[in-house]
Amino acid sequence: MSAAASSRSAPDATPAYYPGCSLDGLGKAYEVSSQQVLRHLGLSLERIVDYNCCGATEVKNLSQDVSLALPARNLALARSMGRSQVVAACNGCVYSLARANDSVRETATRDRINSLLARGGAPSYDGAASVQHVLEFIYQRAGPGRVRSAVRRPLAGLVIAPYYGCLYTRPKRYTGVGTTPGTDDPEHPHFLDELLVACGAKVVTDYSAKTICCGGGHALSDLEVSVAFSASVLNEARRAGADLVATICPLGQINIENHLDRIRSSYGDEVVRPVAYFTQLMSLAFGSSLREARLSDNFSRPDLFLRSRGFA
Amino acid sequence: MPIVEPSLVEVQRTERLDLEGIDVSGDWNTFLRSRVAVDLDVKILDWVKGHPQGDTISRCWQCGTCTAGCCMHTDYGLQEFNPRYFIYLAQIGYEEELRRYADTVWRCVSCNKCVERCPKGVKVEEVVHTIGSYLIASGLAPESPADRFDRAYTENLLRHGILDEADLFRTYERLEGRKTPARQILRMGLTLLRSGRLHTGPFAHRARRWAQMRSVLRAQLARDARCPAPTGAADRTVAAEGGGVR
């Protein structure tokens, strides 16, 4: 049994919340709308105040130990808050926090990382915090049933493509998804589908780009590739008949939106779809206005589209 | 590609050779152009195995599941991006062939489907990056755009503990000598400013109590950057003239 699995046995009433750089930066709309959704569902999370960035998939290519110490410091801070569960909203954060967890199961590695943490003035990490994506947290704690009863304004008439991206479940050896009871399916995830349906939307089920990579890791360093993958996310949504793409990852959201001009000029206007965080759409269904859900923050302007569909 | 095993037939120079009374002395076997690579070197495998992210390479039994699902190989359609083959070349130590992929290996986007699906628990994505590091450390590959980005990203992150996204964008554009049209920058900047998201430069977010951690992690980064170059790696050659043709 993985460490992730064993430490999930005792859930915190209020798990620690790791925002990461995106939720306090470009992904502000994700942060605000997540809080709205949690409030409507009667769920709460407590922010790790002194957090630092997780290092995503970049730092590990330069230094193994730095790439483990960065997430481990956050996990250690969560432990010193008395928590054994950490919820993050970014796929990249979930990946690197879970990867650190997997690595520190080895005593030698844990000692090495803890020595770095100690010298840097941070508490040491015992390896006992489990990591969860906010989508999984909402699904497990509230589920489609409670979401349905919180809906004030159903997303009727909207056809949505649920885009999970690459690192929500992957790899399961780090995230524990698929091997831990109550988690999503790593090859065919469906939690987002179910939550959006519970909000009254129609979800395209044959969306082949569901779990593909958006190329966000190489958003700037390999434009050709990241534009092509971002275009696929939108184009497959179009082919499946969706008018909107829902994301669960700020890297994906920002990468796709950053490439919109390039996608338009290489693949044509008809490929482009507005892209919104799933929490923005849920918050809208729970009664928030377009402005409150910060739907005009997104470069792809889902607010304009939603207004044309009668949402205010 | 050539046959990867020691050559059994060698060029032979004979001063005097009689066969049943006929003088057949001269240079023998010169018309047999060797198709065999002889200089395989396990040092590559040792180097990758010795790297903290490369140790799972020895579990690979070459089933190809990684490559079958690889988004660079299948979705993007870059046929020469073949993680199974990169691993194979590192396993047998066939450097001459491996270096042909110097400008390909770095393009892995880290989607981790290979790690997810590997039936043998190979951390393919990390092993492939380690093979990329080997190529750079032994002087066989130039630094790639992704390497430059990783460095800019890490330096940016360590400064305040929290990424300054706008600064990273500016720094990296400068590194690559690229310029996003001013109109686009202005439009994005305005949208960010209007929505209170322009946290850059003096307004950047900072992790609290970070100074001490920063100096510890910077020191560690510098130690790991001095990753030892494989000895004599660049001098080794493959005997076969036709080597490297796939």
Query: Is A190 among the domain residues?
Result: yes
CA distance B239 to B4: 11
Interface probe with A: pick from B144, B155, B170, B213, most Cβ of A within 10 Å: B213
The total number of structural domains that make up chain A: 2
List the domain boundaries for chain B.
1-38, 43-142, 145-225
Residue A118 within a domain: yes
For residue A28, what is the nearest residue in chain B, using CA coordinates? B197
**A241/A288 same-domain check:** yes
Helix-helix angle B43-50:B124-137, to 10 degrees: 120
Q: Looking at chain A, which residue has its C-alpha nearest residue B155? A: A59
Q: Is the pLDDT of residue B35 over 80?
A: no
| A61: in domain | yes
- The residue from A133, A165, A183 where one domain ends is A133
Task: Kindly state the greatest CA–CA separation across chain A.
Answer: 59
User: Taking CB atoms and an 8 Å cutoff, what residues of chain B touch A26?
Assistant: 165, 192, 197
Helix (H) or strand (E) holding A115: helix A107-119
* pLDDT at position B228: 61
SS3 content of chain B, % helix, strand, coil (to 5): 50, 5, 45
Task: Give the residue from chain B lying closest to A225, CA to CA.
Answer: B76
pLDDT of residue B243: 36
Say if the Cβ atoms of A221 and B145 lie within 8 Å.
Answer: yes
The confidence band for B242, taking pLDDT boundaries of 50, 70 and 90, is: very low
Interface test mutation site (partner B, options A52, A183, A212, A214, max chain B beta carbons within 10 A): A52
Is A139 part of any domain? Answer: no
Q: Is residue A138 part of a domain?
A: no
Shortest distance between the Cα of A148 and any Cα of chain B, in A, equals: 30
Q: How confident is the model at residue B241 (pLDDT cuts 50, 70, 90)?
A: very low
Distance, CA of B20 to CA of B24 (rounded, Å): 10
A87-135 pLDDT tens trace: 999 999 999 999 999 999 999 999 999 999 999 999 999 999 999 999 9
User: Quick one: average pLDDT of B173-183?
Assistant: 90
B/e letters for B176-211, b = 16+ CB within 10 Å, e = fewer, are eeeeeeeeeeeebeebbeebebbbbeeebbebeebe
Domain end among A82, A109, A133: A133
In 3-state terms, what secondary structure has residue A85? strand
Residues of A in Cβ contact (< 8 Å) with B215: 120
Interface check A221 vs B, CB under 8 A: yes
Among A296, A286, A210, residue whose Cα is nearest residue A248 = A210
Burial class from Cβ neighbours inside 10 Å (0-12, 13-18, 19+) for residue A200 reads middle
Is residue A279 within 8 Å of residue A133, measured between CB atoms? no
Cβ <8 Å between B116 and A296: no
Q: Does residue A125 sit in the same domain as residue A148?
A: no
The answer to whether the CB atoms of B154 and A58 lie below 8 A apart is yes
Q: Rounded to an integer, what distance in angstroms lies between the CA atom of residue A276 and that of residue A299?
A: 10
By Cβ distance, the residue of A61, A63, A167 closest to B112 is A167
> Quick one: A261 and A150 in the same domain?
yes
Question: Between the CA of residue A79 and those of A2, A12, A86, B153, what are the distances in Å?
Answer: 19, 11, 9, 27
The reply to whether A100 and A156 lie within a common domain is no
Q: Contacts of residue A212 in chain B, CB cutoff 8 Å? A: 71, 75, 111
> Complex ipTM, two decimals?
0.94
> How far A216 CA sits from the closest chain B CA (Å)?
8
Average pLDDT over residues B152-175: 95
Tell me, what's the pLDDT at A11?
Answer: 86
Res B179 pLDDT > 80: yes
Let me know whether A275 and A243 are in one domain: yes
Please, which pLDDT band fits residue B68 given cuts at 50, 70 and 90? very high
Does A292 contact chain B (CB < 8 Å)?
A: no
Q: At what angle do helices A64-80 and A107-119 cross, to 10 degrees?
A: 80
Q: Do residues A235 and A276 touch, judged by C-beta distance below 8 A?
A: no
What DSSP assignment string belongs to A184-205? PPSSS--HHHHHHHHTT-EE-S
B36-59 per-position pLDDT tens digit: 776 788 899 999 999 999 999 999
User: Are A96 and A85 in contact, with CB atoms under 8 Å apart?
Assistant: no
Does one domain contain both A167 and A58? no
For residue B197, list chain A residues with Cβ-Cβ distance below 8 A: 25-26, 28, 297
Q: Which residue, A133, A157, A187, sits at the end of a domain? A: A133
**Do the chains contact at B162 and A120, CB–CB below 8 Å?**
no
Which residue is closest to B223 within chain A, CA to CA? A63
User: What CATH code is carried by the domain that includes residue A40?
Assistant: 1.20.1050.140
Chain B residues in contact with A215 (beta carbon < 8 A) = 109
- Kindly state whether residues A94 and A153 are assigned to the same domain: no
What type of residue sits at position A171?
P
Asked if the Cβ–Cβ distance from B209 to A56 is below 8 Å, we say no
Q: Among candidates A186, A252, A179, A60, which has minimal Cα distance to B116?
A: A186
Q: Phi and psi at residue A288, in whole multiples of 5°?
A: -70, 155
DSSP codes, A122-183: -----S--EEEEHHHHHHHHTHHHHHHHH-SS--TT-EEEEE--STTT--HHHH-TTTSTTP
Query: What pLDDT does residue B189 have?
Result: 86
Q: Is A38 in contact with B213 (CB distance < 8 Å)?
A: no
Cβ within 8 Å, pair B147-A28: no
Is residue B219's pLDDT more than 90? yes
Low-confidence ranges of chain A (pLDDT < 50): 1-7
Residue B27 pLDDT: 86
Which of B162, B210, B224 comes nearest A21 by C-beta?
A: B162
B15 forms beta bridges with: none
What's the CATH number where A292 sits? 3.40.50.11810
Taking the Cβ of residue A228 and every Cβ of chain B, the question of whether any pair is shorter than 8 Å is answered with: yes
Q: A120 CB contacts (<8 Å, ≥6 apart)?
A: A69, A73, B212, B213, B214, B215, B216, B217
pLDDT digits (tens, 9 = 90+) for A3-34: 444 445 568 999 999 999 899 989 999 999 99
Whether A241 and A148 map to the same domain: the answer is yes
**A216 and A295 share a domain?**
yes
Which is nearest to A98 in space by CA: A165, A5, A174, A11? A174
Q: Which residues does chain B have within 8 Å of residue A121's beta carbon, measured at their own beta carbons?
A: 209, 212-213
In chain B, what residues touch A49 (CB-CB under 8 Å)? Answer: 208
Residue entry with tokens 């990203």: B153
Task: State the burial class of residue A302 (Cβ atoms within 10 Å of its Cβ: 0-12, 13-18, 19+).
Answer: buried
Contact between chains at B71 and A229 (C-beta distance less than 8 A): yes
Which residues does B30 contact at the CB level (< 8 Å), separation at least 6?
A: B11
For A121, which of B126, B147, B209 is closest by C-beta distance?
A: B209
Per CB-CB distance under 8 Å, the chain B contacts of A263 are none
Are A21 and B165 a contacting pair at CB < 8 A?
Answer: yes
Interface touch A226/B109, C-beta < 8 Å: yes
Say whether both A168 and A295 belong to one domain: yes
Give B171→chain A minimum CA distance, Å.
11
Q: Do B217 and A215 touch (CB under 8 A)?
A: no
Closest Cα in chain A, distance from residue B6 (Å) = 35
Residue given tokens 């999930």 in the structure block? A8
Rg of chain A in Å (alpha carbons):
19
* CA distance to A124, B6, B106, per residue, from B66 (Å): 36, 29, 16
pLDDT for the residue B232 = 47
Residue B216: burial class (beta carbons within 10 Å; 0-12, 13-18, 19+): buried
Interface of A with B in 125-164 (CB under 8 A): none
B6-30: pLDDT as tens digits: 666 777 888 888 888 888 888 888 7
Q: Are residues A111 and A149 in the same domain?
A: no
Q: Which domain holds residue A301?
A: 144-308
